[in-house]
Amino acid sequence: MNLRKLPPLWPAPRLLNVSLKQTRVLDGWHFRITSNTDCDVVTRAIVRYRNLTLPSSTTRSGIDGDRDAPANLLSSLHVGVRRHNGANNCGYPPPKANERYTLTIPASGDANLTSETVWGALRGLETFSQMVLARPNERYAVVNSGEVRDFPRFSHRGILMDTARHFLPVAIIKQNLVGAYSKRHVYSEEDVRGVVEYARLRGIRVIPEIDTPGHTHALGRAFPDALTPCYGNGSRGTASLGQHGAFEMLDPTKNLTYSLVQSLISQVAKVFKDPYVHLGMDEVYYDCWYDRENMMFITLLHKN
């Protein structure tokens, strides 16, 4: 089997039934991608994937001039979405979106991409873009005819971008979807909404993380009374090298702490659309809470 002629799809789909024979793709000026929906998730994806799949360098004159190009011609791709009307079907991607799709590419004529939702259409467009091959030494693009059926193994896939320790410009955040010291290194609400919208159009959910109850030293600069003092060397507000800072964990014995966390979550909910929020909970140094000087915490613990 000539593996060079198989499409290099990543991740591997659940069903890949394609021919080793390749079909020439109509040039970028004339290849049509149509859809039965005007949902912006699909219409804007079509524009992106047209530019990505059929670069302008693949010109009509170049294709017509290649004698070795396959005779069969693929002229269009139609994207058919069964449920696409209303805010529930064209809005923010739900936690358990139906991302199934079927992509059918004939030996010539028109290809079809069908899905239940716009999120499945996005996954199918990504697969189609990977199947179209514009080889460096050839002036035309080709695609293997056949059928692909796929859906993600896990409904939730994700990466955690830690912008608390290292500020990342919005352009870098988009490229990957693509309170730092400096006063300019903060995200405005407009920045956040822009990232959420950028991700939405690509079928990606943005789940915010409020890192608690540890890693809150920076928050303590504004609300010092909300942090638990540590006794690293026996004195109040001293660190233990390699274990914890002097003040870096929220104090669960203070009413201020709960009011502060509630306020933070309320603000986050205004700009993020996802129903979930990540509360961190990593690297909590219990020694600070259990220190004999923090008797209020120990009393609270045994009460509950």
Catalytically annotated residues: 283
DSSP structural state of residue 266: H
Cis peptide before 7 (omega within 30 of 0): no
Task: Please give the Cα distance from 251 to 9 (Å, whole number).
Answer: 50
Would you tell me how many other CB atoms lie within 10 Å of the CB of residue 304?
Answer: 4
Task: Please give the Cα distance from 304 to 298 (Å, whole number).
Answer: 10
**E-assigned strands of the chain?**
15-25, 32-35, 73-81, 101-105, 109-115, 133-134, 141-150, 209-212, 227-229, 247-250, 278-280
Q: Estimate to the nearest angstrom the gap between the alpha carbon of 263 and the chain centroid.
A: 26
CA distances, 220 to each of 59, 74, 227, 264, 282 (Å) = 59, 61, 6, 14, 18
> For the CA atoms of the chain, what is the radius of gyration?
27
Cis peptide before 11 (omega within 30 of 0): yes
**E-assigned strands of 94-197?**
101-105, 109-115, 133-134, 141-150
Q: Estimate to the nearest angstrom the gap between the alpha carbon of 91 and the chain centroid.
A: 15
Backbone angles phi, psi at 279, to 5 degrees: -100, 15
CA atoms 165, 168, 172, 177: torsion sign:
positive
CB-facing half-sphere around the CA of 35: CA atoms within 13 A = 24
Would you tell me how many other CB atoms lie within 10 Å of the CB of residue 241?
Answer: 8
